[in-house]
C-alpha cells in the first residue's frame, strides 16, 4: 500500500520553508496527527523558531466529542495549557475569530481532515479564518490531507446565492472532488478572500485514491463520521438532516441507515429496487436510535450497502430515498422547520440541496431521477471548469 505523506509531515520536516518567522496558532482538531501518531500540538510545543501561542477549534471541538450543532465554549487544552478558542459558539458571529483573537500571531496553521462534501463545516471555518487573517496580516498555512472519497468523482448542483449558509458558503457541488488545500486556493482566488496563503501539499497522493488506500490512520473527523463507508454515503445522505427522518444518528451506522417509526421497510426497499440505483443495495431494516431524531423508538427504513463505490452516486441515492418515503407516506413525511446552522428564515433542506427545487418541484415525483441528475449538468460543467484551475495533484 502507498504511504501518503500529509502536509503536516512535510511541514514538520522543513517548517522554515512554509512558515513566516515568528509565532504560530493552530486551527486543528483531533485529526491533526503526524505519521508518528502524535498530535500537531505536541510537535509545535517543542518548536523554538515558531512557538505555539494559540489554539482554535471548529465544530465538534478540538477533540471531536460534541455532537452536531452543539455550541462550544472556550476551554483549556490539557496538553498545551493554552486556551482553545472555539469557532462554533451559539451565534453566527462566533464562526470566525475576533480580531483580538489573532493578536500576536504570525502564522495560522490549518490541519483538519475533511470528508469531501460541501456540507461539512470545517472548510468554511477555514474560509472565515482566511478572511480574518487577511485583515490581521497573518499568514494562513493549510496542511493538505486526502479527500477520503477520492479526488475524481463529483456530483450535484451548486448553491444558489439565496441559499448560502455555513453548510454551503460557496457555490461548490455536493461532492466536489477536491482536497482542503485545493479548496483553500479556490476560496482565496476565485472567491476573493485574498489572504497570505501557503498550501503545503501532500506527497504520494493520487486523485483516484480512497482513504483506505493511503496508508494513513483513519481518525473519525466528527462523532458521526466513524468510517470511510460513512463518508462515502454522506454527500447524499446529509440531505436527510433537512427532514424529520432519522439519518441514523444515535446508532453505530449514521447516514448509512435512514428511517422513521411509520415506515414499512419492505415496501420502501421494494420501491427503491425499481430505481436501479448504481452501486448500492437498499436493504429493508429496523433500527433504534439512542439519541437524536427517533430516540428510543424502533424505526423502519433501509440500510444502504454500497456494492460498488466507483459507480455509487450518493446524492442521486439520497434524492431517491426521500422521494420514495414521501411517495409511500405523504401524510407523515415532513421537512425540518427548526433553525439550522444559524439560519431560521429558510428551510434546512433548501440550504442543503442548494435551492428550493427538491422541496417545491421534485416531490412526490415531478421528474424522473434521470431528469433530476441531468438538471445538475450545467452547474457541474461550470464548477469543473473552475475547479480545474486549482487542482494540485
So what's the pLDDT on residue 2?
73
The side-by-side arrangement of strands in the sheet containing 299-306 is: 257-260, 299-306, 280-287
Beta bridge partners of 340: 343
**Nine-digit cell string for 124:** 468554511
- Does an H or E element contain 188, and which? helix 180-189
pLDDT of residue 1: 64
Q: How much is the pLDDT for 361?
A: 86
Return the pLDDT at 365: 65
Place of cell 448560502: 164
Q: Tens-digit pLDDT profile for the chain (393 aa)?
A: 679 999 999 999 999 999 999 999 999 999 999 999 999 999 999 888 999 999 999 999 999 999 999 999 999 999 999 999 999 999 999 999 998 999 999 999 999 999 999 999 999 999 999 999 999 999 999 999 999 999 999 999 999 999 999 999 999 999 999 999 999 999 999 999 999 999 999 999 999 999 999 999 999 999 999 999 999 999 999 999 999 999 999 999 999 999 999 999 999 999 999 999 999 999 999 999 999 999 999 999 999 999 999 999 999 999 999 999 999 999 999 999 999 999 999 999 999 999 999 999 888 767 899 999 999 999 999 999 999 999 999
Core vs surface per residue 346-373: b (16+ CB within 10 A) or e: ebbbbbbbbbbbbbeebbeeeeebeebb
How many other C-beta atoms lie within 10 A of the C-beta of residue 30? 19
Q: Work out whether the CA dihedral 120, 73, 220, 338 comes out positive or negative.
A: negative
Give DSSP secondary structure letters for 49-101. Answer: SS-EEEEEE-TTTTTT-S-TT-----EE-TTT--EEEES--SSGGGSS--GGG
Could you tell me where in the chain the CATH 3.90.1150.140 domains are found? 228-360
Q: What CA dihedral angle connects 220, 225, 226 and 227, to 10 degrees? A: -90
pTM score, whole prediction: 0.97
Which residues, in sequence order, are CB contacts of 270 under 8 Å at separation 6+? none
Q: What is the pLDDT of residue 362?
A: 84
How far, in Å, CA of 80 to CA of 83, rounded?
A: 9
Pick the CATH number of 228-360 from 3.90.700.10, 3.90.1150.140, 3.40.50.1000, 3.40.50.300: 3.90.1150.140
Domain at 7-221, CATH class: alpha beta
Q: Where in the chain is the domain with CATH 3.40.50.12170?
A: 7-221
Q: 221 - beta bridge partners? A: none
Separation of alpha carbons 303 and 317, rounded Å: 12
Q: What cell was used for 204?
A: 504520494
- Spatial CA neighbour of 59 closest among 105, 90, 38, 103: 90
Contact status, residue 139 vs residue 133, Cβ threshold 8 Å? yes
Amino acid at each position: 500500500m502507498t504511504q501518503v505523506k500529509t502536509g503536516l509531515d512535510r511541514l514538520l520536516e522543513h517548517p522554515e520553508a512554509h512558515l513566516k518567522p515568528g509565532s504560530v496558532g493552530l486551527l486543528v482538531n483531533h485529526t491533526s496527527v503526524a505519521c508518528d501518531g502524535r498530535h500537531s500540538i505536541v510537535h509545535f510545543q517543542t518548536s523554538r523558531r515558531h512557538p505555539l501561542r494559540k489554539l482554535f477549534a471548529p465544530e465538534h471541538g478540538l477533540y471531536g466529542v460534541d455532537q452536531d450543532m452543539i455550541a462550544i465554549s472556550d476551554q483549556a487544552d490539557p496538553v498545551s495549557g493554552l486556551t482553545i478558542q472555539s469557532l462554533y459558539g451559539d451565534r453566527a458571529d462566533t464562526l470566525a475569530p475576533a480580531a483580538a483573537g489573532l493578536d500576536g500571531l504570525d502564522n495560522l496553521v490549518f490541519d483538519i481532515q475533511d470528508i469531501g462534501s460541501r456540507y461539512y463545516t470545517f472548510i468554511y471555518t477555514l474560509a472565515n479564518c482566511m478572511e480574518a487573517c487577511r485583515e490581521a496580516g497573518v499568514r494562513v498555512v493549510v496542511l493538505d490531507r486526502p479527500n477520503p472519497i477520492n479526488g475524481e468523482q463529483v456530483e450535484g448542483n451548486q448553491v444558489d446565492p439565496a441559499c448560502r449558509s455555513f453548510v454551503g458558503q460557496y457555490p461548490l457541488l455536493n461532492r466536489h472532488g477536491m482536497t482542503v488545500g485545493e479548496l483553500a486556493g479556490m476560496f482565496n482566488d476565485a472567491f476573493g478572500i485574498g489572504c497570505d496563503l501557503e498550501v503545503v501539499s501532500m506527497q504520494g497522493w493520487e486523485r483516484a485514491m480512497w482513504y483506505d488506500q493511503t496508508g494513513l490512520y483513519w481518525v473519525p473527523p466528527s462523532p458521526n463520521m466513524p468510517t470511510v463507508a460513512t463518508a462515502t454515503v454522506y454527500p447524499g445522505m446529509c440531505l436527510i438532516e433537512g427532514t424529520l427522518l432519522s439519518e441514523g444518528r444515535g446508532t453505530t451506522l449514521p447516514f448509512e441507515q435512514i428511517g422513521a417509526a411509520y415506515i414499512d421497510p419492505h415496501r420502501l426497499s421494494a420501491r427503491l429496487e425499481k430505481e436501479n440505483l448504481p452501486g448500492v443495495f437498499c436493504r429493508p431494516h429496523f433500527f433504534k436510535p439512542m439519541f437524536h431524531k427517533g430516540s428510543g423508538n424502533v424505526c423502519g427504513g433501509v440500510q444502504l450497502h454500497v456494492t460498488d463505490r466507483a459507480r455509487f452516486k450518493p446524492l442521486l441515492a439520497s434524492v431517491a430515498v426521500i422521494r420514495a418515503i414521501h411517495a409511500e407516506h405523504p401524510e407523515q413525511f415532513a421537512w425540518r422547520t427548526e433553525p439550522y446552522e444559524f439560519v431560521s428564515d429558510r428551510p434546512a433542506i433548501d440550504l442543503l440541496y442548494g435551492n428550493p427545487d427538491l422541496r417545491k418541484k421534485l416531490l412526490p415525483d415531478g421528474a424522473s431521477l434521470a431528469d433530476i441528475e441531468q438538471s445538475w449538468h450545467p452547474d457541474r460543467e461550470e464548477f469543473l471548469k473552475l475547479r480545474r484551475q486549482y487542482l494540485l495533484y
